[in-house]
Amino acid sequence: MTPLSRVVIGSLLILAWPTAHAADGQKIFTQGGANPAAMACIGCHGPDGKGIAAAGFPRLAGLPAGYLSKQLQDWRNGTRKQPVMEPLAKALSDDEIKAVSAYLASLPAEPVADLRRQQIADDPTTRLALYGDWGRQIPGCVQCHGPGGSGVGEHFPPLAGQPAAYLVAQLNAWRDGSRSNDPNQLMVGVAKAMTDDEVKAIAAFFARPAHPEVTP
Ligand code: HEC
Ligand code: HEC
């Protein structure tokens, strides 16, 4: 064996070794985790991970891996409470959480229009989304969630394209205390300052696929 081929084979072995032991994210998504209580995600989050809007099941495809794994850990540590996902998250191992989050983050998501480049309708919901209401200490949602609500970095999740029923449920969860996992309580104040009608309207605003009525 030449020294070069020895190096090549050696590096192949090093590359192959961790994958043989690591959890398989795609398999967890389609078939579930090693513990049968960790049901396959695909059944509720849809074949492409884009969620099932009619049921209020959120999209996971293209969400940041850091955000996804944090949510699963939050169900385990009790700062996020929900009867379906809580036992499921508890049945996943740390390795499985890491693997399935990385897999989901790699799935393609629908493109989101950039609101900054669009003609913005002047209605109260759009104003709240873009500029907030400083009289009530509500910053604009897009200031943290990115243009069009498309998400920013690992910790500010996208709102765009999530089912309206899911977005309403999350804002209400902060209001009733069943979700208290937001870093520095960034969301609880925002959610509590909003009226029921605003919660519904803002959810419908971001749930619209890509603001098709205005072209970039
Ligand atoms: C039986 C249905 C069901 C199955 C199976 C399921 N989920 Fe969920 N999932 C839900 C529901 C319902 C919610 C919304 C929970 C809420 O309202 O807080 C959710 C929410 C989530 C969220 C939060 C998304 C966000 O934007 O914060 C993550 C992450 C998640 N699920 C991951 C998974 C993973 C990973 C699997 C597979 C191992 C899985 N789910 C399997 C029903 C399910
Ligand atoms: C100061 C920053 C900030 C502002 C402003 C903000 N958010 Fe958030 N929001 C966050 C963070 C951070 C999270 C993720 C918290 C976590 O880790 O679970 C979040 C999460 C959410 C979620 C849950 C998403 C999911 O996938 O479960 C919803 C819904 C939401 N925000 C709606 C809004 C709306 C509507 C507004 C405007 C009225 C808004 N946010 C303004 C920081 C912000």
Ligand nearest to the CA of 103: 1
- Asked whether residue 122 falls in the same domain as residue 156, the answer is yes
- Asked whether residue 102 falls in the same domain as residue 119, the answer is no
**Hey, what are 99's tokens?**
């693997």
Contact between 210 and 110 (Cβ < 8 Å): yes
- Asked whether residue 128 falls in the same domain as residue 45, the answer is no
In the predicted model, is pLDDT for residue 76 greater than 50?
Answer: yes
Q: How confident is the model at residue 214 (pLDDT cuts 50, 70, 90)?
A: very low
- Asked whether residue 87 falls in the same domain as residue 159, the answer is no
- Asked which of 106, 124, 142 is the last residue of a domain, the reply is 106
Contact between 135 and 194 (Cβ < 8 Å): no
Is residue 1 assigned to a domain?
no
Query: For the chain, how are helix, strand and coil distributed in percent, rounded to 5?
Result: 55, 5, 40
Q: How confident is the model at residue 216 (pLDDT cuts 50, 70, 90)?
A: very low
Protein residue whose Cα sits closest to atom 3 of ligand 1: 44
Ligand nearest to the CA of 164: 2
* pLDDT tens for each residue of 163-185: 999 999 999 999 999 999 999 99
Residue the block writes with tokens 């990385």 = 102
- Asked whether residue 75 falls in the same domain as residue 35, the answer is yes
**Nearby residues of 37 by Cβ (< 8 Å), 6 or more positions away:** 87, 88, 90, 91
- Asked which of 106, 125, 160 is the last residue of a domain, the reply is 106
The pLDDT value recorded for residue 215 is: 35
Q: How confident is the model at residue 162 (pLDDT cuts 50, 70, 90)?
A: very high
**Nearby residues of 60 by Cβ (< 8 Å), 6 or more positions away:** 41, 45, 49, 51, 68, 104, 107
- Determine the distance separating the centroid of ligand 2 and the alpha carbon of 188, expressed in angstroms: 9
The pLDDT value recorded for residue 82 is: 96
CATH code where residue 84 lies? 1.10.760.10
Q: How confident is the model at residue 121 (pLDDT cuts 50, 70, 90)?
A: low
Is residue 14 assigned to a domain?
no
State the total domains in the chain.
2
pTM: 0.90
Q: Is 155 in the pocket of ligand 2 (CB under 6 A)?
A: yes
Q: How confident is the model at residue 133 (pLDDT cuts 50, 70, 90)?
A: very high
Domain that holds residue 144: 115-207
Ligand nearest to the CA of 160: 2
- Asked whether residue 128 falls in the same domain as residue 199, the answer is yes
- Determine the distance separating the centroid of ligand 2 and the alpha carbon of 192, expressed in angstroms: 12
Q: Is 98 in the pocket of ligand 1 (CB under 6 A)?
A: no
User: What is the chain's alpha carbon radius of gyration, rounded to the nearest angstrom?
Assistant: 20
- Could you identify the atom of ligand 2 that is nearest to the CA of residue 203? 35
Give the distance, in angstroms, between the CA of residue 115 and the centroid of all CA atoms in the same chain: 20
In the predicted model, is pLDDT for residue 87 greater than 60?
Answer: yes
The pLDDT value recorded for residue 6 is: 61
